[in-house]
């Protein structure tokens, strides 16, 4: 008895699916080929049957040669799959229609100007110090002291933090800031006189650091109704101490130590929503997770912007976890392979919709504006010499900056203190309405 071979049953649904995928891939390949052809000198003829075709990234070229009655390319895709690649497609289009350079008329370049309400701005600048004292007092008055059963009575922790931030705000040295502390006593913002050495000792305490981090986010939370998009970046602050090698021998150039400040800042008000401080060698990408997590605790995040230093599949997944769209440019050597569906989807959007991407990505410059404002107003150097004190001093600068941002936002919102969400306000912060400026 002979067994007849079973007939192949063709699945028409799968057939149509593969056909649709193939046409989609062909379309995508042609689009990439057109991107290559849009560049100047994209294809160079070496000799008959041999051409150099630029890479899509613009770095390097691939050799496309007529061999054995077909075009052959030395790019990784062709070597692996033996199928027509985007470089061969670009050459085919080049030979069919020729290289055409389209000269667009250059539009007239106009500088965008942003309107400024000078009446409100001038009022905020002239009365900033007064409002700053009141807001800072309202902020630190919620801090509770631990119970003391014996020993000499300590200064209240709220008084110490108040003076630390006022010292950063004034940019004065420890001794010269004594007059600021005495004025705070006259205004009843602190309970008793504090010596400048007490402030220097306070900054040395590591237990102060988490309190200062919390105060940064507490101020920023007051603006969670107007901020949904955030820019991430980092910048260095110079310390007064020097690297270890300068102590080895005389005659070797000295090099300052640096602290690196990583921030998440709102693009509407430039408030610092989250901050992480590392040493000068702290990379940007590992800080992305902590910055986004801290921001998401108090804000609804819709969009995130960062430079290519934050480009990684892991960071895209973190942004997706909080339903946020991450607009982070890909590095030059990045490809849309082997990093998951989210990476490929974002990579293809970046490649094929560059104009739309740039419309969102330009908001990242707000992070640069934030650092510029902090350094211009409160200095780009740290006076403290101890590592813990340096971090605490930098956090005091960030707190002072956030309060100044809050003052301007309060005045713009008709000068009301209802914007504040500090718990247990002990002083009412009342501002004149904008009509009476």
Taking only the tens place, the pLDDT of each residue in 4-52 is 444 444 444 444 444 455 566 777 888 888 888 887 788 888 888 888 8
> Are the C-beta atoms of residues 64 and 91 closer than 8 Å to each other?
yes
**Beta carbons of 126 and 408 less than 8 angstroms apart:** no
Assigned token pair, 123: 């009022």
Q: What is the pLDDT of residue 107?
A: 46
Q: Note the pTM of the prediction, 2 decimals.
A: 0.70
Q: Is the Cβ–Cβ distance between 294 and 274 less than 8 Å?
A: yes
Lowest mean pLDDT among 117-126, 214-223, 318-327: 117-126
Query: What are the sequence ranges of the domains in the chain?
Result: 26-97, 215-388+404-419
Higher pLDDT, 68 or 223: 223
What CA dihedral angle connects 158, 160, 162 and 164, to 10 degrees?
A: -150
* Confidence band, pLDDT 50/70/90 cuts, at residue 326: very high
| pLDDT exceeds 80 at position 61 | yes
H-assigned helices in 222-324: 288-298, 313-321
Q: What is the pLDDT of residue 406?
A: 93
DSSP per-residue string spanning 97-139: H------PPPPPP--------HHHHHHHHHTHHHHHHHHHHHH
Question: Which positions ≥6 away from 29 have C-beta within 8 Å?
Answer: 84, 85, 86, 89
- 42-51, 219-228, 356-365: segment of lowest average pLDDT: 42-51
Average pLDDT over residues 324-332: 92
pLDDT above 90: residue 324: yes
Residue 397 has pLDDT above 80, yes or no: yes
Over residues 146-167, the mean pLDDT reads 88
Q: Would you say residue 278 has pLDDT above 70?
A: yes
Query: What pLDDT was estimated at residue 435?
Result: 39
Report pLDDT for 243.
Answer: 59
CATH of domain 215-388+404-419: 3.30.420
pLDDT at 88 over 70: yes
Q: For residue 30, what pLDDT is reported? A: 85
**Average pLDDT score over the chain:** 82
The mean per-residue pLDDT over the stretch 88-92 comes to 88
Average pLDDT over residues 399-425: 71
Confidence of residue 145 (pLDDT cuts 50, 70, 90): confident
Is 60 exceeded by the pLDDT of residue 105? no
Q: What pLDDT does 68 receive?
A: 82
pLDDT at residue 249 is higher than 70: no
Q: Which of 236-250, 361-375, 390-404, 412-426 has the lowest mean pLDDT?
A: 412-426
CA distances from 299 to 230, 232, 318, 367 (A): 10, 15, 15, 17
Q: Which residue has the higher pLDDT, 108 or 238?
A: 238
Residue 294: pLDDT band with limits 50, 70, 90: very high
Residues paired with residue 242 on neighbouring β-strands, in sequence order: 256
Average pLDDT over residues 353-361: 89
Whether 269 shows a pLDDT value over 60: the answer reads yes
Residue with the larger pLDDT of the pair 303 and 80: 303
Cα-based angle 388, 261, 343 (whole degrees, multiple of 5):
130
Q: What is the pLDDT of residue 215?
A: 95
């Amino acid at each position: 008895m002979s067994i007849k071979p079973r007939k192949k049953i063709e699945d028409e649904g799968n057939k149509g699916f593969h056909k649709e995928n193939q046409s989609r891939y062909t379309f995508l390949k042609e689009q990439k080929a057109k991107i290559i052809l849009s560049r100047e000198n994209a294809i160079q003829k070496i000799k008959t049957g041999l051409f150099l075709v630029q890479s899509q990234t613009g770095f390097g070229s691939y050799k496309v040669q007529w061999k054995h009655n077909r075009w052959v390319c030395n790019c990784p895709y062709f070597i692996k799959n033996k199928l027509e690649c985007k470089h061969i497609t670009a050459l085919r289009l080049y030979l069919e229609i020729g290289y055409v350079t389209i000269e667009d008329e250059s539009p007239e370049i106009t500088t965008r100007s942003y309107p400024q309400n000078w009446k409100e701005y001038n009022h905020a600048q002239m009365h900033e110090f007064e409002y700053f004292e009141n807001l800072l007092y309202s902020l630190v008055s919620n801090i509770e002291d631990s119970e003391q059963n014996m020993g000499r009575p300590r200064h209240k922790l709220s008084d110490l933090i108040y003076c630390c931030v006022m010292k950063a705000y004034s940019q004065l040295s420890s001794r010269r800031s004594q007059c600021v502390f005495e004025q705070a006593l006259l205004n009843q913002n602190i309970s008793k006189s504090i010596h400048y050495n007490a402030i220097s000792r306070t900054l040395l305490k590591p237990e102060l650091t988490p309190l200062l981090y919390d105060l940064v986010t507490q101020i920023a939370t007051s603006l969670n109704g107007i901020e949904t998009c955030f820019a991430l970046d980092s910048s260095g602050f110079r310390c007064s101490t020097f690297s270890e090698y300068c102590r080895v021998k005389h005659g070797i150039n000295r090099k300052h130590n640096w602290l690196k400040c990583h921030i998440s800042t709102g693009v509407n008000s430039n408030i610092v929503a989250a901050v992480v401080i590392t040493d000068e060698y702290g990379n940007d990408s590992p800080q992305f997770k902590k910055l986004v997590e801290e921001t998401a605790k108090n804000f609804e995040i819709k969009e995130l912007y960062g430079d290519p230093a934050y480009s990684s599949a892991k960071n895209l997944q973190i942004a997706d976890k909080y339903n946020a769209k991450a607009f982070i440019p890909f590095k030059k050597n990045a490809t849309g392979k082997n990093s998951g569906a989210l990476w490929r989807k974002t990579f293809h959007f970046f490649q094929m919709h560059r104009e739309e991407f740039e419309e969102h990505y330009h908001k990242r410059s707000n992070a640069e504006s934030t650092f510029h404002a902090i350094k211009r107003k409160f200095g780009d150097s740290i006076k403290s010499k101890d590592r813990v004190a340096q971090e605490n001093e930098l956090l005091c600068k960030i707190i002072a900056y956030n309060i100044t941002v809050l003052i301007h936002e309060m005045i713009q919102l008709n000068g009301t203190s209802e914007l504040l969400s500090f718990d247990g306000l002990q002083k009412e912060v009342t501002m004149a309405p904008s009509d009476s400026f």
